[in-house]
Amino acid sequence: MHVTTLILGAGAAGMMAAAFAGPDVLVVDHAKNPGEKIRISGGGRCNFTNMYCDSNAFLSENPHFCKSALARYTQWDFLDLVGQYDIAWHEKTLGQLFCDGKSTQIVDMLLKEMEKSGAQLWLRTQIKDVRHAGGRFVTSLERDGKPIEITSKNLILATGGKSIPKMGATGIAYDIARQFGHAITETRPALVPLTFGDRFAPLAGVSTNALVSNNKTSFEEALLFTHRGLSGPAILQISSYWHEGEEITVNLLPGRDFPEILKACRQTEGRRAVTTELATHLPARLVEFLGQDIDLKGNIADLSDARIDALCDSLTAWRLKPTGSEGYRTAEVTLGGVSTEGVDSKSMMSKHLPGLYVIGEAIDVTGWLGGYNFQWAWASGVAAGRHI
């Protein structure tokens, strides 16, 4: 069978590309359902874009690469599409836009857009082999237990990254791209909880606002203690910048001049216990836990200036060394991927082999937490789809 365009992967990027590349398009995926990551995203409400999306929120060996596609299909364009389908949405925090209802509304919207463009979708289809011969791509598939060969002028790699293998993630885009002469940058799990053995197990479920930093950047968002370590948006964000063996620094009292607060309290509320005052700023269970390592005994009146400074240092520059991360098992995305060097930033087409495209998470562009990764999937998918 011959089609103009074969798209491997019916995820966010692949479906979006199909909607723009139609009509003679076939999308194949080994999963039972399309857009499974959209379905489970944002706690079932899909954080589908971010109002403040711009290239600063993306990591890549080439930080400029994502600019063109993001500028040509913006968060406002996607919001417009969402509006056409009467999908209700709200801003949760930091420009993050979520569906009011279920995330499957976004999947259904993309399926309708694909249908409108005339694209076909084959699910439960295995990709066996891809070749390029006589100016065409020849892709061997297996569908309903039967082998089938598809020839196509264009081939779009949209099979995503390696995160959550249980959901069907594979590194197949990297293998195919490599086969056609593309370099793959180092891949790592990102937007992933960091592990600390059972050190924080007694605090599991406690959450607090924190500024989490390393030597490259910092994020102020919620931090969550878990049985295995630290999670929550602040940790997921820093994990994308963290390398095995490095420390992170946690400021538990961001935006507050805590030494001044304590000094003022010493004048007016000197008989208050240090732990009582701290518990007005931090969860009580956390204060109790911190008291095992930091001297929090006594009343505020007992604190010398030097002890106040030492105490505040411990709380605002808590240095922690993760034992590792939870890995691809729970990572929201894969950092790295098909090197941007071999891909045209306007069209997402390979510079090595015309007709080959790489989009979405498969390419070395990774967004922050907050709807940025979907915006990249939409924008890169549209860039390829429009070019075809």
| SS3 category, 68 | helix
Q: Cβ 50 to ligand FDA, closest distance in Å? A: 8
Which of 1, 40, 264, 317 touches ligand FDA by CB under 6 A?
40
Nearer to ligand FDA, 238 or 303 (CB): 238
- Give the count of residues interacting with ligand FDA (CB under 6 A): 36
Q: Cβ 277 to ligand FDA, closest distance in Å? A: 37
State yes or no: residue 42 binds ligand FDA (CB under 6 A): yes
For every residue of 172-241, DSSP letters joined together read: HHHHHHHHTT--B---EEES-PEEBTBTTGGGTT-EEEEEEE-SS-EEEEEEEE-SSEEESHHHHHHHTT
- Which stretch in 181-189, 260-268, 271-279, 372-380 sits in contact with ligand FDA by CB under 6 A? 372-380
Binding mask 161-180 vs ligand FDA (x if CB under 6 A, - otherwise)?
--xx---xxx-x--------
State yes or no: residue 364 binds ligand FDA (CB under 6 A): no
Q: In angstroms, rounded to a whole number, what is the distance separating the alpha carbons of residues 274 and 308?
A: 10
Nearer to ligand FDA, 127 or 194 (CB): 127
Q: Cβ 24 to ligand FDA, closest distance in Å? A: 20
State yes or no: residue 29 binds ligand FDA (CB under 6 A): yes
- Which stretch in 39-47, 55-63, 112-120, 302-310 sits in contact with ligand FDA by CB under 6 A? 39-47
Q: In angstroms, rounded to a whole number, what is the distance separating the alpha carbons of residues 228 and 330?
A: 12
State the pairing for strand pair 188-190/333-335: antiparallel
The token pair that represents 179 in the structure block: 């086969």
Nearer to ligand FDA, 251 or 373 (CB): 373
State yes or no: residue 113 binds ligand FDA (CB under 6 A): no
State yes or no: residue 361 binds ligand FDA (CB under 6 A): yes
The token pair that represents 129 in the structure block: 């082999």
Closest CA to 159 of 149, 150, 168: 168
Q: Cβ 23 to ligand FDA, closest distance in Å? A: 21
Q: Are 74 and 53 in contact (CB under 8 A)?
A: yes
Binding mask 235-254 vs ligand FDA (x if CB under 6 A, - otherwise)?
--------------------
State yes or no: residue 10 binds ligand FDA (CB under 6 A): yes
Helix ranges (H only) for the chain are: 12-21, 36-40, 67-72, 75-84, 104-117, 172-179, 233-239, 258-268, 274-278, 284-290, 305-316, 372-387
Question: Could you tell me which residues are beta bridge partners of residue 194?
Answer: 230, 325
Which of 19, 27, 308, 377 touches ligand FDA by CB under 6 A?
377
State yes or no: residue 193 binds ligand FDA (CB under 6 A): no
Considering Cα of 307, then 309, then 312, then 317, what sign does the dihedral take? Answer: negative
Q: Are 364 and 185 in contact (CB under 8 A)?
A: yes
Which of 5, 21, 22, 47 touches ligand FDA by CB under 6 A?
47
State the pairing for strand pair 120-122/318-320: unpaired
Q: Are 114 and 19 in contact (CB under 8 A)?
A: yes
Q: By CB under 6 A, what part of segment 120-159 binds ligand FDA? A: 127, 158-159
Q: In angstroms, rounded to a whole number, what is the distance separating the alpha carbons of residues 222 and 363?
A: 29
State yes or no: residue 337 binds ligand FDA (CB under 6 A): no
Q: In angstroms, rounded to a whole number, what is the distance separating the alpha carbons of residues 356 and 136?
A: 10
Which of 46, 109, 190, 312 touches ligand FDA by CB under 6 A?
46
- Which stretch in 182-190, 306-314, 346-354, 369-377 sits in contact with ligand FDA by CB under 6 A? 369-377
Give the interface with ligand FDA as residue ranges (CB under 6 A).
Answer: 9-14, 29-31, 36-37, 40-42, 46-47, 127, 158-160, 163-164, 168-170, 172, 332-333, 360-362, 371-374, 377
